[in-house]
Amino acid sequence: MNLKPSALSVAMAASISLTACGPAQILGADDAVVKLSPLENNPSAGYLTLRGGAEDQKLVEVTSKQADRIELHETVKEGGLTKMQTLQEVNVPAGENVEFKPGGKHLMIWGVNKGAIEKGQMNLLVKYSNGEIFKVPAKIETMGSEQSMHSEIGTDKTAGHAMPSETMDTAPAE
């Protein structure tokens, strides 16, 4: 099947923004969580929701003082193969929410510092193309405590969330 859910959700969002006459949504980001990799040298995954403002923006960078490096990634399925792509930026249309979630867009985070892990909390700095930077608190949870790593990242064999350039050869999901 070649359903295009993205086109559908864009259409739905457009009709909502036409009928809603309230104040324009304010640019920001929230709902952040970091799923800590159980293996120290493997990257952790991060999820959050970007909130579009009055004008179209792009997410250009996410950084943190409590981590060595953060990349923007997207898990994509192509003919039964699952792979991760590095994203240079993410479009955040005016008034729309862009969700980072398992199996889709996510943050890949290297070197979360020990102090943050002990506190169970870190701050993400979310930078948009207009230059605005938002500090977003993220709860740090251990990957695989209540759910297996596979179900966290998606339905595929992305255990350990291998390095970004790697293509993962997996059986079709579902």
Tokens of 32: 């952040």
- Residue 34 found at the interface with Cu ion (CB under 5 A): no
Task: State the nearest-atom distance from the C-beta of 111 to Cu ion, in Å.
Answer: 15
Measured from the CB atom, the residue of 35 and 73 that comes closer to Cu ion is 73
Measured from the CB atom, the residue of 132 and 166 that comes closer to Cu ion is 166
Applying CB under 5 A, the span of 31-39, 52-60, 69-77, 129-137 interacting with Cu ion comes to 69-77
List all residues 6 or more positions away from 80 whose beta carbon is below 8 Å from its beta carbon.
170, 171, 172
Task: State the nearest-atom distance from the C-beta of 20 to Cu ion, in Å.
Answer: 34
3-state secondary structure of 103: coil
Q: What sign has the CA pseudo-torsion 61, 62, 67, 69?
A: negative
Residue 164: CB atoms within 10 A of its CB come to: 13
Interface residue with Cu ion among 27, 32, 48, 108 (CB under 5 A) is 108
- Residue 36 found at the interface with Cu ion (CB under 5 A): no
- Residue 59 found at the interface with Cu ion (CB under 5 A): no
Residue 40: CB atoms within 10 A of its CB come to: 8
Interface residue with Cu ion among 59, 72, 84, 116 (CB under 5 A) is 84
Task: State the nearest-atom distance from the C-beta of 106 to Cu ion, in Å.
Answer: 6
Task: State the nearest-atom distance from the C-beta of 113 to Cu ion, in Å.
Answer: 20
- Residue 73 found at the interface with Cu ion (CB under 5 A): yes
- Residue 35 found at the interface with Cu ion (CB under 5 A): no
- The span from the CA of 173 to the CA of 128, in Å, is 34
Task: State the nearest-atom distance from the C-beta of 163 to Cu ion, in Å.
Answer: 9
3-state secondary structure of 20: coil
- Report the helix count and the strand count for the chain, using DSSP H and E: 3, 11
- The span from the CA of 31 to the CA of 134, in Å, is 13
- Residue 51 found at the interface with Cu ion (CB under 5 A): no
Interacting residue ranges for Cu ion, rule: CB under 5 A = 73, 84, 108
